[in-house]
């Protein structure tokens, strides 16, 4: 049961190359369809796989850290 959580619902922000506003996209959405539409300027943005991977790694790391902290809390 250790890996029952899914990162697919975790949100990451990608900067819009057109208006530089952050576009919120879930990891699951990004994996399925690596192009999103900016809500501000309606530009279709292709997600950069390398940059996305970095963000996903960062989210995974923070989720693991959080789980570890929660685990320590419940051990008492």
- Residue 37 interacts with Zn ion (CB under 5 A): yes or no: no
The whole-angstrom separation of Cα 51 and Cα 14 is 9
Q: Where are the alpha helices (DSSP H) in the chain?
A: 27-32, 49-75
Tally the C-alpha atoms within 13 A of residue 4's C-alpha that lie toward its C-beta. 2
Q: Which residue from 5, 8, 11, 19 is in contact with Zn ion, where contact means CB under 5 A?
A: 19
- Residue 40 interacts with Zn ion (CB under 5 A): yes or no: yes
- Nearest residue (CB) to Zn ion, 17 versus 66: 17
* Residues near Zn ion (CB under 5 A): 16, 18-19, 38, 40-41, 43
């Amino acid at each position: 049961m250790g890996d029952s959580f899914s990162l697919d619902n975790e949100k990451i922000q990608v900067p819009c190359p057109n208006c530089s506003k952050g576009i919120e996209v879930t990891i699951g959405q990004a994996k399925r369809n690596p192009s999103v539409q900016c809500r501000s300027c309606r530009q279709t943005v292709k997600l950069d796989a390398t940059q996305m991977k970095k963000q996903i790694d960062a989210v995974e790391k923070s989720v693991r850290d959080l789980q570890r902290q929660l685990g320590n809390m419940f051990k008492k």
